Amino acid sequence: MAAAMWVRLSRTGAELAMAKLVNVSISGAFLETSLQLPANADITLEPVSTAGAALEGLKIAARVARVDQRGLGIEWRVIATPETLALLGVDVQPPVSHWGS
C-alpha cells in the first residue's frame, strides 16, 4: 500500500538518517534513502509528523531485507497491526466475510 511519511532511522540507539516511507504492508516497507546498510541489519523506525515531532513515541523494529539504489526494503520484526499501519498513514479495510451471505 502506498504511503508517504518521513521516518527517523536508528541502529543500536544511534540516529542514522531520515528516510521516506513510500510503500507499507503488514510484513514490511520500502524506504527511499541514500543510507546504505547491509542486508539483515537491525534498525528502528520512528515516524515523524509533518512538524518534525515523533508520533506518540512510536518506534518500530525492523531488519533490512534488501538494498537497491533507491533505498532499503525492510521487514518488520513483528507483523504490523492495523493500528500501527493506521499511524503510518495506511488505510486498512477489514476483510469482508462472505460466510453466511
Could you tell me if residue 67 is inside a domain?
yes
Could you tell me if residue 62 is inside a domain?
yes
Could you tell me if residue 72 is inside a domain?
yes
In angstroms, the CA 44 to CA 15 distance is 9
Tell me the pLDDT band of 27, cut-offs 50, 70 and 90.
confident
Residue 2 has pLDDT above 60, yes or no: no
In angstroms, the CA 25 to CA 32 distance is 15
Could you tell me if residue 98 is inside a domain?
no
What values do phi and psi take at 99, rounded to 5? -75, 135
Would you give the distance in Å from CA 83 to the centre of its chain?
13
The string of pLDDT tens digits covering residues 29-68 is 999 999 999 999 999 998 886 655 555 677 889 999 999 9
Could you tell me if residue 83 is inside a domain?
yes
Query: What's the CATH code of the domain at 83?
Result: 2.40.10.220
| Cα-based torsion angle of the residue sequence 75, 21, 12, 35 in order, rounded to the nearest 10 degrees | 100
Domain count, the chain: 1
The CB density around residue 46, as the number of other CB atoms within 10 Å, is 17
| Res 24: pLDDT | 84
Range(s) of the domain holding residue 43? 2-87
Could you tell me if residue 64 is inside a domain?
yes
| Res 58: pLDDT | 78
| Res 94: pLDDT | 59
Average pLDDT over residues 87-93: 65
Could you tell me if residue 97 is inside a domain?
no
Whole-number average pLDDT of the chain: 81
Give alpha helix (H) positions in the chain: 82-87
In angstroms, the CA 67 to CA 74 distance is 9
Could you tell me if residue 22 is inside a domain?
yes
